[in-house]
Every structure is written in C-alpha cells, then in structure tokens.
Structure 1
C-alpha cells in the first residue's frame, strides 16, 4: 500500500466534506474544510457521572452527551485535533443545560490560548459559529450557565477546518551526544532535524520510554540510577504531528554515587520453608553493607536460578522427587557481591504442580520472537535479527526454513517479529509474518513446503503500520472467527493511537487475504479505519483467545503501568491520556490487571484452559493468572530471575507450554544473543 499523495489526501478531504453538514463553501480548492474533531482525544474540567464522559461530545452520536459537574463555573471541554489546523466553523449542539457566556479558544500547545469566538448571550440549542485562527487544540470555555441548576451539557462539539496536508516527517536528529555525566544526570545535545514545514519539538527517549519533550537541541536528563548503563535517542516532531525516525543511540554509563569497594556480608540462616513437586521456597537473614544491599541471587549447581529484592524467593521449574542444593549471595548498588551463604538442601515432593518442570528444547544465538505450531506438532519460530524462520521439533531437531525477504532492523525492537500458522495450513501451506521494512511495519504471508519457504511466495497483505526504533508491536493471532488479529505499536507517535486512520497503537482485524472484514466496527469510515478492531494502545505485545472466544491483550506502558486488557470491539483503551489506571482515564476501557513497568514489561501471552500465562521482559518472570469469565483472579509468578528476559509463551499441541527467552535483544545485530526455547510442563 503506497503512502498517500497530496492529491489523494485532497480528494479524501473533499469526500469527507460532503458527508459533513453545512460546511463553509468558500474553502480553498486544495483542501476543503472537514470535520476534524470527531473521535479525537478529549478532556474536560469535570464530568457529572458515568455515561456522561467528555469523549461522548465528539463521538458523532447525537444520542450521547457530555455533562459537567453540577453548579461548577467555569467549565471547559478540550479536543486535541492531532495536527495544526486552520479553523473555519464550530458547531455546538447543547443539551438541556447550555452556556449563556462562553468562549471558543485555540492553542498550539494546550498552554497559551487565543479566543476565536466569545459571547455573553448564547442561545443554546444548535449554534453554527464561523471562526478563524489556527491551532492543534480547541477548547470550549463556559463561564455562565443558562440554568441556575445543573451543569453544562454538550451533545456534540464539532470543529471544522483545514489541515496543511503535511504528511512528511522530519529527518532524524543527527549526532546525538552526551556530556557532563554524573551519578544521576547527563547532558544530551544533537544536530537539528530538517522538515519541509518546520520542526516544532524534540522527544527524548530512554530505552523506548518517553522522558521529555523540548524545543531546542539540548537538554539535561536527571533521575538516573548510579553505576548504571542508560541508552538514549531523540525523535523530531513537526507542527502536523509527524514524528521522525530515531536519532543514533548514545549509551551512557553513570559512575557510582560514591566510591565503594566493600562487599556485603554473606546472607545467614538460609532455609527451605516449603516444597512442592516443582518448587522450593527459601528464606534467609538479611546481609549488611557499608552503603546498602540492593538485591540477592539464588544459585543451584553453579547456575543462577532466581533473584529477589527481599529475603525470600520461590524457585520454580524443579523436577519432582529431586534434591536441590541452594546458596544465596547479596549485592550492593555498584555490583559488589558477597560470599555465598551456607548451603541448604531441599527435596521436592512427588506429583506435579500447575506449572511444572522445565526442559530445554534448543538454544539460539538470535532472538526467538514469534512462535507458532505446525499440524505435525513442530514449532516454527522467527529469529528477529537474522530475519529467518526455524522449524523445531518436540525432540529438539532444528531445520532452517529460509530468510523472509525485505526485512530490516531498527537497532532495537524492529525486525522479523510475530508469526502465525494458517488454520488451514494442511491445504494452503501459509505462514503469516509481521515484519519491519525500510518504511513501515507490515503483514505478509508466505508458503512453506518441504521444510522451506517457497521462493517467490511472499504476499504483502497490509502496509503502512508505523515503524520506529521502539514501539513496533508485532503479535499475530488467528481468532475462532477465522480472522487474523494484529497487535501494533504507536511507532512513538503517541497521539496517533487515538487516530483511527493511523494503524499504530491498535488491534487490527483482517481477513486471511489481507482485506478488511465488513463487520469491523469502523469499516464504514473507509481508509485505514476499516481495519481497526480496538485503539488507544501504546505497544501491543500479547494476544490470546480464551475458550469463550474473548480476545485478551497485553501491552507495554511507558514508566508507570503495564496492562492486561480484555479487548472490546471498537473499544478505546485510552493511550496516551491514560496509562494503565493513571492519567485521564474516565470514559476509556479499563485494564483487567496492571503491573509496574519494573515488574512486568509484558510480551507474549497464552491461555490454557482458564489460566493465562504472560511472559515478561523487564520483570524476567512468567505470570500465571486465573481467568474467571471476564475477570482476572489469583496470580502467581514463576522463574523470577531464572532465565532472564522472557519473550514469547505459547500452548503446544500436547497441552504444555513453550517459552522463549530474549537475551541480547537491545540491538538489531544478528546472532549476538544467547537465548533458549524451553518446554514447561503443565500438570
């Protein structure tokens, strides 16, 4: 799918203008005024209750409305158009409580406001206001009510105007560099990006997490951890909201907060407090240090098998009826390690736990990202940075199927990502893949026959999914309805997650041939919106269907919360206004479970019976969550610190789990990883 030309954008704007009612007729021929506000992110000063949220004033439905809290003046309703626009008309449809005195204002940044219409004698009902001015944000600011009681009620707040038609992103900022590094801060600077209209800001990221936006080409980043390694990059942004590709990475090593060569004391009193068939619970006395102990590692047979920040841990993945000997070491902030504790030996019981013993099926020097199963019971997985597919039998025999063409990396999270085997593979031999190209992320399908990718069989099904260094999404999952569900990232364009014509920050739904199903919620809107199943996501990493055909989804938060969601058809999940349950979350679909980003950073998910398993990267653990219909019940964690970062978990045909690790996944260099594919027994 080729990117739209300015002529095609103009034609689309004209078509939308016909649909909108009573538009200003004297518009420039190159870009007729269109309805800009519908479905865009919106906030309000107050809301009077459920079913009266701010988003209902821009949903295009004249049967819904926003209502402010009773008796509160002033009150305001603010919509983010997503791009800078020249305004031509505002249509206000009031409910039974209007504003006598109010202003319509516009702003480039939601900070400095310019009035484009004001009145002290508003008539209520429907008001069509001819306005001028330009801005990205438009606000209705009401100061006096028509009625003495109640709040302000707005059925629809419709803003019409023209956008610039600017779809070209800035060039990537160049020559990002660091200076004046301290234990907790660093100064960053870079060469300016260029743009056909003009760069308005730069966004600074640390390992994919947004830090700040600045107007100039330098900034100081604070709050860093001492004695740590930190990666930074910068994106440029123009007035139309277009986001550049990332600058070069710069890696900074902060020094210790103070000189520290003293190791902690050894933990004392290590003992086993409980055993099951597949786990041993341990506790120990705290170590001491001249500055402070920050963590502990549990070892068995010379290998690390767990970690903890406190003085206890449960070590999973053990075999039944087996004796294990453990020791514990303490670490301080600069990495000084204590001597090991005295050992303790514990013997697991017979039988089996819900999450049982682990065996290694294979090791890999690349990043195993996507994983699916063929009809013969073999797995097939994608190697993210090497761009090829590998078949893996349950016995551990490996066969390279071939390289997927036209895949590129992003020096971080891009490459060959999710894969899915056709439900009718036995007759069509299709394997579906999600991968990064030079200009986007895309969905393709290819044929696999006789243990090889058939030359020339690759078909491109969907293009135009945004790409960047991080936030590429990539998970694929066929549903029980035979449709292909696609999890995408916002491509580091957070506001785009709320734009239904922007394919990033979404769960998409496709027919197997790549066309859009006519029963998709926004099919009638045309354009990219016809592929959208849900939106308002940041970076979708996990998709799985339960036994009742419900779609569950895991996504990465920024710095506060990661999410597990039950996806609703047409649902808006709130990003970037809402992260987990933090922020302006009223009116959005709420997550079913959240975690701090330090404890999760979820990736793949799988559902077996009524249990959902979630692999986590930063949290380096496997979560097991009990599903009770549409609710999430009890939670247990497994393998914390045992195998490092966990990327993908899938239910194997025999009913057990396959789990992939994700070591060395910080760049796009092929074959510089140390990853494993594990089999986890479920009992």
Structure 2
C-alpha cells in the first residue's frame, strides 16, 4: 500500500492542527541513549507479550505463535492456533494475556479469518495456554468477536488488543479500506470496541442500550488503528495510520467520534482533499498528526524504572519512519519528544518485566531487540 515517503523527520500538528512544528532529526545509532541487543529472529513478526515468568509470546503474520526464551533466544511453536487468512495486511495479529493469567492461563489472539467468496474480516479468539517440553499448545479455543461484516480486500484490520484498568477487553477495528463503515453505527469497522473478557457487551458501554453490534462501540471514526494503550491515570491512547499524510495519536473519549472519513489531516491517495479536523469541530481532533507519515505500528506507555526519565512517555514503532518515536504525555496533551533511527521498519514495541524496552523489526528476518540504558 502506498505511503508518503519520509522527506524530513516529520511535521507535528497539535490539537486542531493549527500549530505545526518540525520534529527533531532522528537520533542515529552512535548517539542512542540505549543499547540494542538482538535476542531472536522471526519471519514477519507482528506482536509480542510477556508472560509472568519473563518468557514471551510472539506472533508471526503467516500464523505461527512462538514461545520465546528472551535470554537465550530459543523459540518453540505453540500448537492449536486458529487458521488465519494470510495476505495483504492480514494474518495472525496481536497477542495478550488475561489479567488473571497466572490463575487461568488464558491468552487472546487477533487474526484475519476467511469468509464467503474471498471476503475476510478480523476476529479475536481466547484460549488456554499449556506450556511444556520446550513448546506448548492452545486448548479451549473460542472465537469471542468477529468484525462486522466481512468484506473484500486485505487491508486495515486494525485488531490491536488491550485489557484496561477496568478489566475489560478493548479491540481496535480498522475500516478495511471501505471508508464509510467508520461512521456506520451498524458496523464494527473503524471503531474502538469494549467487551467483557468472554466477548459479551458491558452494560455501561456508551451505546449499550442500542443493542446488536452498536452496543460494542466505544468510539468511532477511525481509519486503521494499530496501537492502543492505557496511561497510569487510566486514559486510553490510540494511534492510527492516516491516508496520504495525517497519521494520528488520539486520546480516546467515551462515545467520541474522530471524524474519518469526513475529516483527516491527510488527503486521499491520488491527492483528493479531505477537510481538516479544524473545519468540523463536532469531531474530536488528534493530539498529534504526522505529515510526512511515520506509519505507526504498536503503542506502549512506559511505566518502568530502567529509563526513569521516560516514565509516562509513549512509544510508537515507525514503519516508513524506520525508527522508534518517543512521545511526551502531559495530562491530556501530547508532543513528540524524540525519534530514534533504528535502520529498520519497527512493527511492535513492548515493555519488559524488568523495565527494559523491546522492539520487533518488521518483515522476514525481523529481529527482537532488547533496549537497555547505556
């Protein structure tokens, strides 16, 4: 899929994009404030999560779930993963663990699944993880959510997952490159969704009284949300790819409408204009927009002690930016603080149990890197 090339480090638009500033030039490797140690290599890795014992799970887009000893780099396959519809931006996506994983051993996977006649859609399954003999398997696999509806094409699944401080399961759902479903309350495409851990709908969702798939919706008007994370105060932040320009970092509000495709700080591919957010104040504007784009992937808000000065900062992987973007969060406001040139497309960023930062490079041969303070 076509993306705007990186011509400068980036232009940031804050609030309604009435103020623009040029981002700092990307920090080169010899000036990084951290070391980056390769720990393992994967084929098209997409997401990762840590287990309580310090090992990790890593998804590969073609459908493999790997159990990884991050100290030795040894990896083993987990059996029983649902069949995935691989192609385009689709395949095996996110992986997270249940807040009570130590007791119930439950994990959650997102993936693209086939429909009729070549149609596809995102889905979320939960399963019980059983480890042993170097590998492991999934049992009691249950599909608890499916994107409504399945459509043609292979783009914009979104399907990032997170558990919130409220114990609810949050799902980002892309517009599948179909535009109008992002504003359609009878579709889950182009939305942020909030569910109970079994896939049922919480009674206190903003549109719960509407019933059906509408009841799942927490916010709408999103394009391709590829990262969601909660800060220390329980606020939900989301990043998404814009069209030709206009990548976004958003603070998600209950029942909020973020405007896509009616507004964007980018334009349609081919140059057809889209009105900016400041022309439609009824829509919620992003806290940061990037043009040229960074092609954001993954979102982590740091809470560890290894990088004490970065506590409370957000980190976004950059695909076209080929780097790691650090963002200062100040209450409900945000600004880019630094950009680190990693020399590769960065698909995922996570915090390790000891406060280290971990990133996954995109594509075949994508490395898992551990970042530690110098």
Category of TM-score, reference length = shorter chain: 0.7 to 0.9
- Number of the residue aligned with 2:324: 622
The answer to whether 1:436 aligns with 2:112 is: yes
- Number of the residue aligned with 1:463: 146
**Matching of residues 382-531 of structure 1 within 5 Å:** 382-385=59-62, 387-395=63-71, 396-409=73-86, 411-439=87-115, 440-451=121-132, 454=137, 456-465=139-148, 466=150, 468-531=153-216
CA contact (8 A) 1:446 1:453 kept: no
- Number of the residue aligned with 1:674: 365
The answer to whether 1:593 aligns with 2:288 is: yes
Separation of aligned partners in 1, 2:255 and 2:318: 27
The answer to whether 1:572 aligns with 2:257 is: yes
3-state SS in 2 of match to 1:450? strand
1:394: how far off? Answer: 2.7
3-state SS in 2 of match to 1:496? helix
1:553 equivalent among 231, 238, 244: 238
Separation of aligned partners in 2, 1:408 and 1:660: 22
1:560: how far off? Answer: 2.0
Separation of aligned partners in 1, 2:338 and 2:106: 36
Separation of aligned partners in 2, 1:426 and 1:512: 15
- Number of the residue aligned with 1:631: 333
Separation of aligned partners in 2, 1:514 and 1:453: 25
Q: 1:614 to 1:464 in 2, by over 3 A?
A: closer
CA contact (8 A) 2:38 2:367 kept: yes
Q: Give the number of equivalent residue pairs.
A: 329
CA contact (8 A) 1:435 1:441 kept: yes
**Matching of residues 135-214 of structure 1 within 5 Å:** 207=1
Separation of aligned partners in 2, 1:619 and 1:660: 14
TM-score (norm 1): 0.46
> Deviations along 1:218-250, whole A, 9 cap, x unmatched?
xxxxxx99xxxxxxxxxxxxxxxxxxxxxxxxx
1:368: how far off? Answer: 1.0
Unaligned runs of 5+ in 2: 9-24, 116-120, 267-273, 303-310
Q: 1:379 to 1:495 in 2, by over 3 A?
A: same
1:487: how far off? Answer: 0.7
3-state SS in 1 of match to 2:181? helix
Unaligned runs of 5+ in 1: 1-206, 210-223, 226-293, 296-311, 319-347, 664-672
**Matching of residues 624-663 of structure 1 within 5 Å:** 624-639=326-341, 642-663=342-363
**Matching of residues 54-453 of structure 1 within 5 Å:** 207=1, 314-316=27-29, 318=30, 355-364=33-42, 366-385=43-62, 387-395=63-71, 396-409=73-86, 411-439=87-115, 440-451=121-132
Separation of aligned partners in 2, 1:428 and 1:454: 15
1:674: how far off? Answer: 1.8
Q: 1:555 to 1:635 in 2, by over 3 A?
A: same
Separation of aligned partners in 1, 2:27 and 2:236: 31
Separation of aligned partners in 2, 1:658 and 1:542: 15
Q: 1:421 to 1:315 in 2, by over 3 A?
A: same
TM-score (norm 2): 0.83
3-state SS in 2 of match to 1:437? strand
Separation of aligned partners in 2, 1:453 and 1:524: 41
Q: 1:561 to 1:584 in 2, by over 3 A?
A: closer
Separation of aligned partners in 2, 1:611 and 1:648: 16
Separation of aligned partners in 2, 1:626 and 1:545: 14
Q: 1:446 to 1:646 in 2, by over 3 A?
A: same
1:397: how far off? Answer: 2.4
> Deviations along 1:4-63, whole A, 9 cap, x unmatched?
xxxxxxxxxxxxxxxxxxxxxxxxxxxxxxxxxxxxxxxxxxxxxxxxxxxxxxxxxxxx
Q: Which has the higher contact order (CA 8 A, sep 6+)?
A: 2
- Number of the residue aligned with 1:541: 226
CA contact (8 A) 1:477 1:486 kept: yes
CA contact (8 A) 2:79 2:138 kept: no
Q: 1:537 to 1:578 in 2, by over 3 A?
A: same
Separation of aligned partners in 2, 1:513 and 1:401: 22
1:624: how far off? Answer: 0.5
CA contact (8 A) 2:288 2:335 kept: no
